[in-house]
Each structure stands twice: as structure tokens, then as C-alpha cells.
Amino acid sequence: MQTSPLLHEKDASQGSPTGTVYHCVCGQEFPVDPSSGGICPSCKRKVTAEAIRNASSATVSIHDLNSTQEVHHFEVEPSDALTHKVFGHFRIERPLGGGGMGTVYRALDMSLQRYVAVKVIHQRGECTDSRLKAMLREAVAQARLNHPNVVTIYYVGRQGEEPFLAMELLPGPTLAERLQSSGPIPYGEAILYAIQVVEALKHASEFDLVHADIKPANLIMAGDGRIKLSDFGLSRVRTSEDSDRPISGTPAYVAPEIVAGLGLSIQSDMYALGVTLFELVFGRLPFELVGETVRDKLQTHQVATIEFPKPWPQSVPREFSRLVSQLLAKDPKARFSNYDTLLDELESIAPVSTTAAGYAPRTMAFILDQLVLLLGIAPFAITIFAINGMKLAGTLNIRLLIPIIAFASLIVPALYLFAIYRGWPSIGRYLFQLRIVEEHGLPPRREQLVPREVLRNAFAWCFPLALYVSLSSVWLAQAIEFGLILFLAVNTITLFLMSKRKALHDYLCRSQVVLATDKKVKNRHASH
């Protein structure tokens, strides 16, 4: 676990009116005001307020650890046996947290005068010298990863008999801490986090690295909607030396094949990601681990079924259950074959922008679509009225052609609806960059989209119908026209008066018109 220093007010009696202490590149520490910055009394270097905001995780020194003003609280001791010791050119300041692999400390890099996180790896009875060498070798491999969603490792070494890593210090908190303090994470945000994790895992797989400990506690928030994956490949790595190694990791996230002794794969990380994603969205694990021993709890993964919430929450699309079910499949072959396929699936259920489209583009798109449909139907209508005129003049008795041509005109709406069914946008929406989404911000289902288009284009369907009917029944044609005008009026009033700029057909079909964005580009940008 890593976290940034926590900003809070320092006791005024210690000489700092603001409580924020800046560590200059010259080594001097001095109080600064986060809103205006300051000047180093030693080297006279100016520190701007923007620099303090952007680099607080690397340059701000915090005192008074017992303060009640801290934003996040962690159950760690303010000091231990390693506090104030020097590891290489890193001076240990205080513990930040710990886990099964080791303890993470906040430390000062004395060579570059910046704060980092130093992880001192535990040495236990089963942790042989060869295993330690393998762990450090994999840490060096991780250090070669250059990805915005992977915690950067700066240094790998030993201090006496204690191996340690120096890595970037992040603002935090971890997603586990956020779950504990704030509860479930909104669906759209959780999916974007998952995309970033998969991007990081895909990059690591190119170096033959498997993380093997995906969980919320190893996902650290790095600001601007970005997260970073920590402890990469340290607890479990895909090497021949690990083939006989006992099972290790976090019981709630260990894939069934690992419990069965079948080894690691990228599908093992996918399983842990499935558990993590379920936990982020619903605030709990997908099933309860039962048993008194760790082995019993691990074996739960081999038999337990996913306990989806009942009733299904309206804030989460049903497509999410399909994704989680595939990630948590007992057979690793039933999961995704590669990360590209998983990324495509995640991006397909990631909500797009829900910024409602304006009245002007919607109106222009509607008018354009109606004109296109009417122009498509016009040749049939003109032919029918021409034939009817010839019949009344007595020049040609081809009355039977009228219903045939009228029936043939249905090919126009049929082709239009077929294009919509295949996922193509209408000409109006394409030109004015509009997109239809369902209530969760996802592309609507076909059975949802086609009825919407039928209602939306009622004028283009019904107006020619009224003309055809008028040839034989004027009053029926008038009834159709009255119903059409009434529907258009209600539809338009609903659009302009109701919230979210939703017309009647959008309320009936649970859809919304939003500004079109390239979802894949947006998600990749968020992860980089």
C-alpha cells in the first residue's frame, strides 16, 4: 500500500502559519502557503502555488501525525524499527502501510531531494534466497514497464540482508480505502478504472509478467480520474522457479485454477479483476468465503456461484452481469482469450457522455431525416396519384396497381429500420454528431432502438399513409392526420418542457439523445 502525505494544519506554535512544509531541492524545509507559495530561505528558489498543488505527493513534508484533521486515516504505527534508517540513498521517515509481502514507508530520496515510497520486503521461513533473487529480478522487470497505469519503480536493492524497492509516491487513497470510507463506486467510474487496469496488464503481459494480486488495495488513485496498479508481479510471477511454490496472494481474489495447482496465466488476473470489479460496483464480494482455514476459503472459489444483487439495481446495466460472469468463469478457457478482447467488451459497456444534445441540432437532424424518408417515398406517392388521375379520366383502368405500388413503398421504411437495426446512425444524427444511448449511457439494444425510430419518424410513415387512404376514405385519412398532429404536438411539448431534453418517444423507450463522442478514444485518453 502506498499513499501520499496528508495535508493538514500544523500547530502554529511550531512556527508554521499554514501547516504545509515544503522540502526544497537544496534540502531545506520551510513553511509555505498552498495558495501563494513561498521562497526557500536557503537557496532563494521560488515555489509557486501551482507547483505545490502538482507536486505535493513528492515534495511536501508533514508533521504531527496524530492530528485529527487528516483526510484519510490508516491503522499504522507512527514509527517502527526501520524509522530514520538509511537504505541506500533513501532515508526512511515513517510507515505508510503493509501487507503480506512487506512494509511500505515514506522516505526521502537524498540524491534527488524528493519523497518516494520504499517497500522493504519481508523475509520469512519460506522466502529462500533463490526466491528473493527471483522477486528482485521481477521487480527489475517491472521497472522496465513504462505505462501511465503502473506504479514506477525507481530503484531495486538490498540494505544488508533486507531487500527493498523505491517507487513513486502517489496521492491515494487506494480503491479499498475509498470503498471503506465512501461505499460502492459509481458504475461508469468503475468501468473506466477497469479499462485502465486491463491496459496496464496488457502492457505487462508483453514482458511476460503476471500481476497475480489484483485487488482494490493495489489500485491507487493518482488524480484526474486515473489509477495506478502497484505491487506488480511481486507476490506471484510467471517463471519456472515458481512452479512448486505454495499458493500465496489474497484469498478473496485467487482464481480457482491456482487453488487447483494449475499455475498462473493472464486469465488468473482476469478472474481477480472480475472479483475486484464486482466489489467496486456493489460494495461487497461476489460470494462469501466460507470455512475455518485459509485452504477452505480458497476452495470456495472452485464451487461458489456469483450472488448478484436482487432486485437488480437500476443504476447498473444488465450487460455488467454478463461481463462479470465471464471473468469469474471457473474454467480459465471460458474467460477472455486475450486482453484486447476484454478491452473491447469493457469499452462496449462503458457509458458515453450523457451531455444532452441541444434543441437546434436535434431539430435539424429530425427535419433532415423526415425529408430523406419523404423523398424516398415520394416516387411511389407520385406514381399512385398519377395512376389515380388517369383512372378518373377514364384513360386507363389500372386500379389494381395502386395497392401494389403502395405496398412496394414500404421498402423505404423497411430499409431505414434495417439500417438502424444494424447499428447505423440516421443521416441527420450522423451529420449533426448525435448519438442515442439508453438510460445507463450505453448503446441501446436493437429491440429498444427500432421501436424508438418508428415513433420518432411517425410523420414520415403516417403522412403518405393518410394520402393513400384519402383516395378511398376521406374521413379515415382525416382521422390519421389528426392522430399524427396530436402525437407530434405532445412529442414536441415533452421535448421542450420536460427535464433532460427527452421527447415522448425517449421516455417511452428509455433512451436519450446525447452529443456523439468517440468512446474508445475517450477511454484510452483517460488511461493515459
* CA–CA distance, 369 with 428 (Å, rounded to integer): 5
**Element spanning 504, H or E:** helix 504-509
* CA–CA distance, 102 with 84 (Å, rounded to integer): 17
For residue 323, the 8-state DSSP code is H
Q: In the annotation, is 213 catalytic?
A: yes
The angle subtended at Cα 77 by Cα 74 and Cα 83, nearest 5°, is: 125
Burial class of residue 130, CB neighbours in 10 A (0-12, 13-18, 19+): exposed
* CA–CA distance, 192 with 255 (Å, rounded to integer): 23
Whether residue 373 contacts residue 463, with contact meaning beta carbons closer than 8 Å, is answered with no
| Count, residues in the chain | 528
* CA–CA distance, 280 with 292 (Å, rounded to integer): 26
Residue with cell 465512501: 182
C-alpha cell at 42: 536557503
The angle subtended at Cα 255 by Cα 163 and Cα 257, nearest 5°, is: 105
C-alpha cell at 57: 505527493
Cα radius of gyration rounded to whole Å, the chain: 32
Give me the residues paired with residue 86 across strands.
Answer: 91
* CA–CA distance, 44 with 29 (Å, rounded to integer): 12
Helix (H, G, I), strand (E, B) or coil at 512: strand
Catalytic choice (213, 231, 269, 369): 213
* CA–CA distance, 425 with 441 (Å, rounded to integer): 16
Report phi then psi at 154, rounded to 5.
Answer: -95, -30
Amino acid sitting at position 160? G
C-alpha cell at 350: 462503458
* CA–CA distance, 193 with 70 (Å, rounded to integer): 26
Q: Is the peptide bond before 173 cis (omega within 30 degrees of 0)?
A: yes
For residue 13, the 8-state DSSP code is G
Question: How do 226-229 and 90-98 pair as beta strands?
Answer: unpaired
The alpha carbon torsion through 305, 310, 315, 320 (nearest 10 deg) reads 20
Q: Helix, strand, coil proportions of the chain in percent (round to 5)? A: 45, 15, 40
> What residues act catalytically?
213
